[in-house]
Amino acid sequence: MSAMPPEDFEAAYEALALAIDSAGPEREALFLTRLALVLGHELGDIAVFRSAIRTALDGIAE
């Protein structure tokens, strides 16, 4: 899997922030869960999906 170019990463960050705001605080967790599952389906590889979960947890899980 290739890394996203920096300019696309910034655009993705902005799109995600706007979508989270649009979902609202009461539906933020639901939106993020659905997004993760959609992206996992697009990846089509459970090992890569699990790796992404571990990477996302690095530094925030106690």
How many other C-beta atoms lie within 10 A of the C-beta of residue 40?
A: 16
Domain count, the chain: 1
Q: Is residue 41 part of a domain?
A: yes
Token pair 């993705």 is found at: 12
For residue 4, the model assigns a pLDDT of 86
Helix (H/G/I), strand (E/B), else coil: 10? helix
Q: Is residue 51 part of a domain?
A: yes
Q: Do the beta carbons of residue 2 and residue 14 sit within 8 Å?
A: no
51 backbone dihedrals φ, ψ, rounded to 5°: -65, -40
Residue 3: pLDDT band (50, 70, 90) is confident
For residue 62, the model assigns a pLDDT of 65
- Comparing 34-38, 41-45, 57-61, which segment has the lowest mean pLDDT? 57-61
Structural domain harbouring 44: 24-62
| Model confidence, pTM | 0.81
For the record, the structure tokens of 19 come out as 């979508």
Q: Is residue 9 part of a domain?
A: no
The pLDDT tens digits for 16-41 are 999 999 999 999 999 999 999 999 99
Q: Is residue 30 part of a domain?
A: yes
For the record, the structure tokens of 3 come out as 């890394």
Q: Is residue 61 part of a domain?
A: yes
Q: Is residue 48 part of a domain?
A: yes
